[in-house]
Amino acid sequence: MNQQQSSFKDKFQYTAGGWKYSATARFLLFFLFWLLFYFSFSDKLIPQTYDIQLNAPSEKMILAPKQVEDERASLKAQETAAQSVEPVNTFVSLKNENLVNSLYDKLEQLNSDTQVTLEEKVDIYRRELPLKREEFLNAFLRASSASTLYSATLLEEVQKQAAEQEYRFPEESFFKLPRLTKEDLKAMRPVTIDVVTELMSDRRPDAQAARAQVAELVNTSNLTKNTQRKMVTEIARFVLTPNVFFDKQATEEARAQARENTPPVLIKKGEVLVEKGQIITKEQYDLLDSMELLKDKVNYMPQLGLIVLVTLMVLLLVMYIMQRSTAVRDNNAKLLMLVLIFILNFLSMKIVAMGQSAELPYLAYLAPVALGAMLITLLLDVPLAFLSSVLFSTGAAIIFNQTGDTLFDYRYGFVALMVCFSAIFALHRASQRSTILKAGVMVCLVGSASVVALNLLSDEYNLRTMLQSISVAVGSGLLTAVLVIGLMPFFEVTFGILSALKLVELSNPNHPLLRKLLTETPGTYHHSVMVGNLSEAAAEAIGANGLLCRVGSFYHDIGKTKRPSYFIENQSNIENPHDHIDPKLSKSIIIAHARDGVEMLKDHKIPKPIWEIAEQHHGTTLLKYFYHKAQKQYEEEGKEPSELQEADFRYPGPKAQSKEAAVVGIADCVEAAVRSLRNPTVEQIESMVQKIIKNRLDDHQFNECDLTLKELDKIAITLKETLLGIFHSRIEYPEDLTKGVKKGES
């Protein structure tokens, strides 16, 4: 019947706790990581699509998923800016005074020729003067074209306007020109040059306006003859041309420059593209199409990219845990706790991101990103916290990205990485809850310094924005510390995690149970302290949790406080009550202290790893003294000693399930055995330690924990060295080592 009950109990425990070591459960937990990363990043990296029909009402309000350029509006704005540019008119100096000199040279030459008749001279002037003007203009155009001073289109405009605004000599003037004497021409030339130069010095898009001013200028000259004044007026009018021309190329360049200088019309992230119920126009439909927001034109490349990104992040986490973090690898409960920490951290970032906007981008610094790094440091593993910090910073760079131009905004990732690393360094080897507050202050300082650096490096440096960012970063550090302090008990109780902080708290001598142990059983208290020193050193030698062994040792014999006088370490100056009672009763009293201790520890809400040490530190070892005493009593009473069952004098167990419980059990037995020696020698201590470990090994007490023979050797060596240090002042050295040494010397 007992075997059936034991089998059922073992089966139930395996079924209930089997998931902790199940490969399937581990795979599902890593898949949960994958889902967490995917859904945390998808809204930032994959644009949402909508089922939209042209000329139909929209069922939803559609917001811009990122900041993009409105190409239609930008083109319209550019054209408006280009059309607002006035036509460019370029001033072109034709040097008309050269034409004046050329005409007067011809007049002087022909008028002085007496062999040419008046009628012939009239015909020559009628024919030659327009040719002179044409030749002058063509020469200018050729020279300007060769020098590339003016554009071809401008020169074409010059030729066109000069032809359109050409002045025709009155017919009667051709008859007057031959009659001008050499003296007349000599007087007229400088006046004509002065008039033309003065009029052409101003910008003259219309030659006719300039010609209207010629008569007035000529009348104010020093010419006395009426004929001279009339002919100077006609020659000047004939020579005058427009000097300001429409420059098509310059105008196009100015308009192109205006288009280029026109800033693009941007659709900001979160801006309403379509109101709910609004009829979708062709322009809006094209805009949604260009932003890849239409469901029938989904781009699957971002989804594929996100899947690869998330898979790489999870693979990095998996490879590290499977190769480095044995505590998480071998216990799915701790892996589940890691998942919950990641969920909390990403959830806090998503909540803060909901309040972030283009006007308040620095609000992202409020996110308690260091929360996850601090919890992993305190509850799991420091190296794992560093790796997790890298993943948290990557997540922050994606979640808080507001630009839409890039996939990551690593300003936020940089700040997240700095605060996470600083928190880990501040919490390393933490021994008090106040250390969490100190870590929070460190997060405040490092976060503020990081924000200051980023603001000073920014092109858009603003003192007000920097101060606001610093205040938000300080708030993040304080919020992180408060959340860690509040969440630590939840994880410790839910997952049975004994953090270093909790263990240090439990080791406080003012704890009610330890105070009870000290006042009611001072011998047991001293024994527990000694066992704590021995077990901590031995556990650290094999890589086990030394602090857990020390604190577990403090509480392992707490059950003795129910019947303190029945235990030898508390029997100072009193008679041993076991001398007068039946050995079976003595056995029951001794064995009961482990069970009583577990009940007391559970009543005081002491964490499971501690009361497991109290329950398992004796395993199923035999109470040899009372067993042999009972055998002797059977012989005296004439009974057959073989009728006595050895199993009745064994502790009920269970055997040690962890290295820590096994180490405390060995240290407990060793300390009690060595204390029983009056003046222990080095050889006695070494022999005693080896004998106790061998007896427990032969008794199969280590079968249910993963202690190796190599680790047992390390435990034996460490216990011997620690005991030699404790009992150094009263160890009796072997005879061969003490020859010549006087009594009392060491």
Distances (CA, A) of 378 to 382, 492, 596: 8, 10, 31
pLDDT at site 311: 95
Give the separation between CA 516 and CA 327, rounded to whole angstroms: 34
Kindly tell me if the per-residue pLDDT of 739 is higher than 60: no
Burial 487-504, CB ≥16 within 10 A → b, else e? bbeebbeeeebbbbbbbb
* Pair 30, 313: CB distance under 8 Å: no
* Pair 360, 472: CB distance under 8 Å: no
Give the separation between CA 513 and CA 246, rounded to whole angstroms: 103
Residues 69-100 pLDDT 10s: 777 788 888 888 888 888 888 898 888 888 88
- Name 477's Cβ contacts closer than 8 Å, sequence gap at least 6: 370, 419, 440, 441, 442, 443, 444, 445, 447
* CA 257 to chain CA centroid, nearest Å: 41
Q: Is 175 exposed, middle or buried (0-12, 13-18, 19+ CB in 10 A)?
A: middle
Distances (CA, A) of 229 to 210, 214, 232, 618, 651: 17, 10, 5, 140, 145
Kindly tell me if the per-residue pLDDT of 356 is higher than 70: yes
pLDDT at site 10: 45
- Domain boundary assignment for the chain: 21-44+299-497, 89-246, 502-737
54, two tokens:
């042209």
Q: Could you check whether 21-44+299-497 and 502-737 share the same CATH topology? A: no
Which has the closest alpha carbon to 48: 32, 60, 34?
60
Residues 632-678 pLDDT 10s: 887 777 777 666 788 888 899 899 999 999 999 999 999 888 888 87
- Name 549's Cβ contacts closer than 8 Å, sequence gap at least 6: 532, 535, 536, 538, 539, 613, 660, 663, 664, 667
Name the E strands within 48-130: 62-63, 68-69, 89-91
Least confident of 88-92, 245-249, 279-283, 686-690: 279-283
Give the separation between CA 56 and CA 63, rounded to whole angstroms: 18
Q: Please provide the CATH number assigned to the domain covering 21-44+299-497.
A: 1.10.1760.20
Which has the closest alpha carbon to 400: 347, 450, 361?
361
Question: What length is written for the chain?
Answer: 746
| DSSP H or E stretch at residue 525 | helix 522-541
* Pair 45, 305: CB distance under 8 Å: yes
pLDDT at site 56: 79
Give DSSP secondary structure letters for 406-457.
SS--HHHHHHHHHHHHHHHHHHTT--STHHHHHHHHHHHHHHHHHHHHHHHH
First-to-final CA distance of the chain: 60
pLDDT band at 450 (very low <50, low <70, confident <90, very high): very high
Return the CATH fold of 502-737. Hypothetical protein af1432 (1.10.3210)
pLDDT at site 317: 93
Least confident of 34-43, 47-56, 199-208: 47-56
pLDDT at site 600: 92
Which has the closest alpha carbon to 443: 496, 372, 492, 387?
372
